[in-house]
Amino acid sequence: MAGTNRFVSRCLKELRVGNHTYKYFNIQALDDPRLRKLPYSIRILLESAVRNCDEFEVKTSDVENILNWEKTSKRDIEIPFKPSRVLLQDFTGVPAVVDLAAMRDAFVKIGRNPSRINPLCPVDLVIDHSIQVDISRSSEALRKNEEYEFNRNKERFEFLKWGQKAFENLLIVPPGSGIVHQVNLEYLARIIFDRNGLLYPDSVVGTDSHTTMINGAGVVGWGVGGIEAEAVMLGQSISMVLPKVVGFRLTGKLPNYATATDLVLTLTKMLRQRGVVGSFVEFFGPGVENLSIADRATIANMSPEYGATMGYFPMDEKTLEFLRTSGRPEGKIAFIEAYLKSNGLFRNYSGEDPVFSGDVLELDLNSVVPCVAGPKRPHDRVSVVDLKNEFVTGLASPVSFKGFSVPNPKAVSNFEYKGQNYQLRHGSVVIAAITSCTNTSNPGVMLAAGLLAKNAVAKGLKIAPYIKTSLSPGSGVVTKYFEKAGVTQYLNELGFYTAGYGCMTCIGNSGDLEEEVLKAINANDLVATSVLSGNRNFEGRVHPATRGNYLASPPLVVAYALAGRVDFDFENEPLGNYQGQPVFLRDIWPSRESVAQTISEIITPDMFKEVYSRIAKGTDTWNSLQAAEGNLYSWKDDSTYIHNPPFFKDLTSEVPEIKDIKNAHVLLKLGDSITTDHISPAGNIARNSPAAKYLQSYGIDQKDFNSYGARRGNDEIMVRGTFANIRLINTLIDHAGPQTMHIPSGEKLDIFEASSRYKKDGVDLIIIAGKEYGSGSSRDWAAKGPFLLGVKAVIAESYERIHRSNLVGMGILPLQFLPDQNAVTLGLTGFEKYNIVLNGDVKVNQIIEVLTDTGNKFKVKARIDTDVEVEYYKNRGILHYVLRKLAKNN
């Protein structure tokens, strides 16, 4: 609201609500006919530009470009965007706080005041990624898993408590509170900010790609890398290309047997086929009014899976209804409603629709059928009625996203477990988990699972005891309404005891399988399966032993656990017998009407108020943690959790010159769809890995290794785990796994060891890859790890949006093959030496020449997409850029 903002006199208005008078920037005061045609998601960007216009970071020309969206969105026009807040989870939040602490140290070294390194906007960090399913199928599961979590992560938690004291504007939501995105939806989301009487829309960037879940409540937000989030925390705008907005019209109502999960899996496939990478998707039409905020949040949550920057539902009456149900104060709801209606941001679906980019997609909700997605990707939807045939066909098919190429499709393994004999075969379910933000925030699908469990127990059905079943509610509210609905005891009876309040199985924290089960799987190399109500099922993610992984609604998770295998025909095969009669799934499946009635009868605002009143107080265990104090963190040399990273070791006040990449060797030559799960360290630390050897050198036993996610604050461990995925296919060697060829010696080495040798010899490194490089979760270590391995550039056919940005943020040059070219067409083996000629400068989308020592010469495009990214790259990364900028102003 500085005086330099030319829109103050024109757009700054007063709004009277009850006894309060607020100020706000009214975009309708622009009196521009283009405004009514703008998608509602773009109107939020417009309001931000008008409010933050200072003719420096945000200019009048940016406001004009947004107003002219219908034309400018076709031309890749760059705009700045200032989010209102930042959302972190602990896996990505710990390294973000580590970096801030390291930046304070670096600031001291160049003679500046460390307290200047401080979040300038609200930052919410929810500890939800560190709990694991160590114990399941037990009434003691929750208590013991939380106890294990604290024992393993005590040092991390103490560090975060230090951060909460040391940094301003940093809220820590303690462990045991719930999943970050559900806590965000139910508690943290402001919807409309009131900052000293100035009203403006809530908007958020988060260090988790599923930050998009909040789009279901009308809040603009998406996932970014931890590096970019740290820059926003330090007052930087996000530089983004003004996106296309794909309109998606929904009509009708979901049929009786379909759930919001079935709907989102259907939409994910449709949008993947359409191609929406880098776009917003905005939902409209009469069908939207038939979806609750929880249903909309389920759809918005999986934006990364269908490739969009976000899937947006504008704020409407359902938003206000949700705010009341979730216990928000009536006074706040009053000014939210008044603001939205006064500023043209309140959606009326019977009114005029905005203009969208290209053809509008359409779906009749009544056409949605029960389905799952898998076995290896979240957008590979398959109807439940077709899954048996598809899975059986895939067993003998060549290895692909659907095929497994098993030598004996009829192989079985007999084993004994707890005194009983059992049999595993291809398709046997060994993990069944109601887990992840996608579904655990949705009372409709959660209560459907509970009611299905109740009906199943009434019919005498049971789940085989060797199947690892678990329930990970997204917040304590779920537990409240389960208890009030009277379904907790039936979920427990089937083995779905609450294992913890966190992401758990969906992020790979599934814990160990029983040794007897593992031996049975390995004996015949079985394609064992998991079924989870999550959003990610990439290879190696859920558990190394489950080669087939299927995303499903919570009630279908229960159903497949009852069936015991995924190649099950629910229509014609009974789940069991009761009183001499076969019991089919249709006999126990709860109707949508019964679920809706249960929701209306039991869910109250008091549940939300009671659960979230505890967050400010903290748990006894959290409050008992002793944390250090002071502006600078006292690093511990012997810590294997928190380590001062080397990112700022060579920081100078001046911007270094750009050098050519000379005689570079290829560290890895990769194919299509390399995900951040392949790149970034995640899951368990393998016992013979470089990271394990490092931990053993510090006297750490294998049982105390913990996970990579829990150790993200230690760069020494994370760099050793980069590209450590056992399913990684690197064509420089002849087998899958985390190894590569050290080209000068011809030896096959662990990737970290090869990198260390190259570094010792002063050799630059590059990576060659195919399409969709870096798809999947937004993981900062997918860029930090390669940087520490010595990677100077990546040459790929295409990139996932967040990962490309993160590479630039770490000073790694993302290069893209020109159309119709790739490593195959150019005859690149990966054993050549590469010279990338930069001539001391890099420009937006510059065409750059690459030469090899074998005489190959080709051109690539520098995927540095904006002028701001040029500055980031010149500074050797976004954080170096911010530090130099702050130093100049200090």
Q: Average the pLDDT over 91-111 and give the result.
A: 91
Q: Prior bond to 375 cis, omega within 30?
A: yes
Q: pLDDT tens digits for 283-324?
A: 999 999 999 999 999 999 999 999 999 999 999 999 999 999
Percentage of the chain exceeding pLDDT 90: 85
Tell me: pLDDT of 191 over 50. yes
Averaging pLDDT over each range in 55-69, 572-586, 694-708, which range is the top one? 572-586
Torsion over CA of 571, 575, 578 and 580, rounded to 10 degrees? 70
Q: pLDDT tens digits for 341-386?
A: 999 999 999 889 999 999 999 999 999 999 999 999 999 999 999 9
For residue 70, count CB atoms less than 10 angstroms from its CB and return exposed for 0-12, middle for 13-18, buried for 19 or more: middle
* Class of domain 85-237 (CATH, top level): alpha beta
Residue 106 near residue 648 (C-beta atoms within 8 A): yes
Q: Average the pLDDT over 191-197 and give the result.
A: 97
Q: pLDDT tens digits for 515-552?
A: 999 999 999 999 999 999 999 998 888 999 999 999 99
| Of residues 251 and 116, more confidently modeled | 251
Percentage of the chain exceeding pLDDT 70: 99
pLDDT in the model for residue 890 = 66
* Class of domain 657-680+722-874 (CATH, top level): alpha beta
Tell me: pLDDT of 336 over 80. yes
Tell me: pLDDT of 410 over 80. yes
pLDDT in the model for residue 3 = 43
pLDDT in the model for residue 332 = 97
Poorest-confidence range of 44-48, 358-362, 617-621, 737-741? 617-621
> pLDDT band for position 778 (50/70/90)?
low
371-606 belongs to CATH 3.30.750.24:
no
Tell me which amino acid residue 402 is: K
Give the span between the Cα atoms of 446 and 30, in whole angstroms: 45
Residue 474 near residue 128 (C-beta atoms within 8 A): no
Q: Where in the chain is the domain with CATH 3.20.19.10?
A: 657-680+722-874
pLDDT in the model for residue 464 = 98
> pLDDT band for position 2 (50/70/90)?
very low
Question: 813 has which bridge partners?
Answer: 793
Angle at 188 between CA 116 and CA 784, to 5 degrees: 50
Give the span between the Cα atoms of 534 and 514, in whole angstroms: 22
Q: What is the DSSP letter of 666?
A: E
CA contacts within 13 A on the Cβ side of 216: 31
Quick one: fold of 1-82+242-369? Aconitase; domain 3 (3.30.499)
pLDDT in the model for residue 777 = 67
Q: Where in the chain is the domain with CATH 3.30.499.10?
A: 1-82+242-369, 85-237, 371-606
**DSSP of 584-618:** -HHHHPPPHHHHHHHHHHH--HHHHHHHHHHHHH-
Poorest-confidence range of 295-309, 621-635, 647-661, 773-787? 773-787
Tell me: pLDDT of 417 over 50. yes
For residue 277, count CB atoms less than 10 angstroms from its CB and return exposed for 0-12, middle for 13-18, buried for 19 or more: middle
Average pLDDT of the chain to the nearest whole number: 94
